[in-house]
Every structure is written in C-alpha cells, then in structure tokens.
Amino acid sequence: MPGSGLTALWEIAARLPEARIVMLTVSEEDADLFAALRAGAHGYLLKDIDPRRLPEALVDVHQGRAAIPRGLVARMMDEFRAGDPRRRAVAGLDELAARLTSREWQVLDLLARDHTTAEIAERLVLSRSAVRAHISSIVRKLDVRDRHEAVERFRRRSDT
C-alpha cells in the first residue's frame, strides 16, 4: 500500500468510528500488530491466510469477534502478562498518546521521519500554518517542550 497502512487505519477509524477494520498484512512483528490494534483494527490477518478462511474471518469481525491468527494471539497474551516495568511505562504513554487525532498521528509520524514543516504540508495537502497548529497540539497533548521532544518520545515508544 502506498504510504502507510497504519496511517490509513488511523484515518479510517477516525472518520468512520463504526467501521470494522481488518488489517491484511505480511508483518508478523509484535510492534506492527500492537500498533494496528491501538489504532483501531478489529482484525489482523496475515496475507498467507488460507483463502477459504478469509470470508469466515471477515464475518467474525462483522459479528463483533476478533480475527487474529492463534500464534499472534499467544504472543499478545505473553505481552500483556509480562511484568516488565518498561512495558507498563509504554502503556502509560499509549494512554496519553491515544488523545492524538489521526491527523496528529500522521504529522508526528512524518516529523519522526525527519520531514520539515513544508514537506509535511505538501505531503498531507495542508498549509504550513495548519501543520504548525497540529505540531502545537501534539506538543501540548504529550506534555513536552517542543517538537523534538515529541519526536523523541514517539521514537522511544516505537522502539519498545
């Protein structure tokens, strides 16, 4: 998918909160799974799924059940059972960061990729002042001093 599937997920979830969203991906990485779930995915399926199983998985999601391969569910359980204090600290950041809008997440992601305000504005088809307003909102919501500290906090969250 051009751009980022996660960015698309954030945007869809923000604009259509009643939508049931299923990620279809090649990534079995825990970080990608958890990021998708935090962003609002109701299912996380791998592209190597048996095509005969796909309709059943989509019906499950439509009926309010999750669609996640069992191997990934087992790793999710391990993650949530972990007593590592570092994991608890990340969870605290996620609660705070959950207040960001989908557009703010996009801006923060692009900032973390070292894009300038002008580049972000061009990429997201926004004015530079709108980008600066989003950055100000991110800084305020994350309770940090500036955009650089917001990016560092975002990177630490992504690395854990």
Q: Which CATH number do you get for residue 12?
A: 3.40.50.2300
Tokens 């900032």 sit on residue? 111
Q: Which domain holds residue 108?
A: 85-159
- Point out the domain boundary residue: 81, 103, 125: 81
d(CA 5, CA 8) in angstroms, rounded, equals 5
Q: How far apart are CA 35 and CA 38, in angstroms?
A: 5
Residue-level pLDDT at 45 = 94
What are the per-10-residue average pLDDT scores of the chain (160 residues)?
Answer: 74 86 90 84 93 94 92 83 48 58 86 94 90 94 93 74
- Among 34, 31, 20, which residue's Cα sits nearest to residue 65? 20
Closest CA to 156 of 108, 106, 102, 103: 108
Query: What pLDDT shows up at residue 37?
Result: 86
pLDDT at 52: 93
pLDDT value for 94:
57
Instruction: Say what the pTM is.
Output: 0.52
Say how far apart CA 122 and CA 107 lie, in whole Å: 12
Number of domains comprising the chain: 2
